């Protein structure tokens, strides 16, 4: 079950959808789990948006009102501005992603492939 729960706007223009997915039947995990993510038109699922959300959930990114901050430095007012900041600074996005992966106990698959191929 896939539902659009909101629109992502940049000014007056709609640039994507906030989406809720409910997995009803699944052979590899419990059924009826829900996932929420942003889909941006022409881009797909927003990786930077997920990094921000997971960073906030694991207390790696601070959220104070509409402001997002990482290591005491403000990275944007609102999720859209924080997403743009991470696009412009991929090294910070990679650092937050690595910390999120460590927090949830998932290794970086790209690093594992690099080590195996070398």
pLDDT digits (tens, 9 = 90+) for 61-101: 999 999 999 998 999 999 889 999 999 999 999 999 999 99
**Within a domain: 6:** yes
Q: Which residues pair with 39 in a beta bridge?
A: 17, 45
Task: Enter the pTM of the model.
Answer: 0.76
**Within a domain: 112:** no
Q: For the beta carbon of residue 97, count every other beta carbon within 10 angstroms.
A: 20
Q: Which residues pair with 46 in a beta bridge?
A: none
Token pair, residue 108, equals 């970086």
Given a cut of 80, whether residue 117 has pLDDT beyond it is no
Q: What is d(CA 38, CA 17) in angstroms, rounded to the nearest whole number? A: 6
In the prediction, which pLDDT does 58 show? 92
For the chain, how big is the Rg over CA atoms in Å?
Answer: 16
Instruction: Quote the number of domains for the chain.
Output: 2
**Within a domain: 5:** yes
Given a cut of 90, whether residue 22 has pLDDT beyond it is yes
Do 40 and 52 reside in the same domain of the chain? Answer: no
**CATH at residue 83:** 3.30.250.10
Q: What is d(CA 74, CA 4) in angstroms, rounded to the nearest whole number? A: 30
In the prediction, which pLDDT does 63 show? 93
**Within a domain: 116:** no
């Amino acid at each position: 079950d896939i539902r659009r729960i909101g629109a992502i706007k940049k000014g007056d223009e709609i640039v994507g959808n906030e989406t809720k997915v409910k997995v009803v039947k699944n052979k590899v995990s419990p059924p009826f789990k829900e996932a929420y993510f942003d889909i941006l038109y022409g881009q797909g699922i927003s990786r930077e948006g997920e990094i921000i959300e997971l960073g906030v959930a694991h207390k790696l990114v601070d959220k104070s009102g509409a402001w997002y901050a990482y290591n005491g430095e403000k990275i944007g007012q609102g999720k859209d501005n924080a997403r743009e900041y991470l696009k412009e600074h991929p090294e910070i996005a990679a650092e937050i992603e690595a910390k999120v992966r460590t927090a949830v106990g998932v290794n970086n698959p790209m690093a594992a492939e690099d080590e195996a191929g070398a």
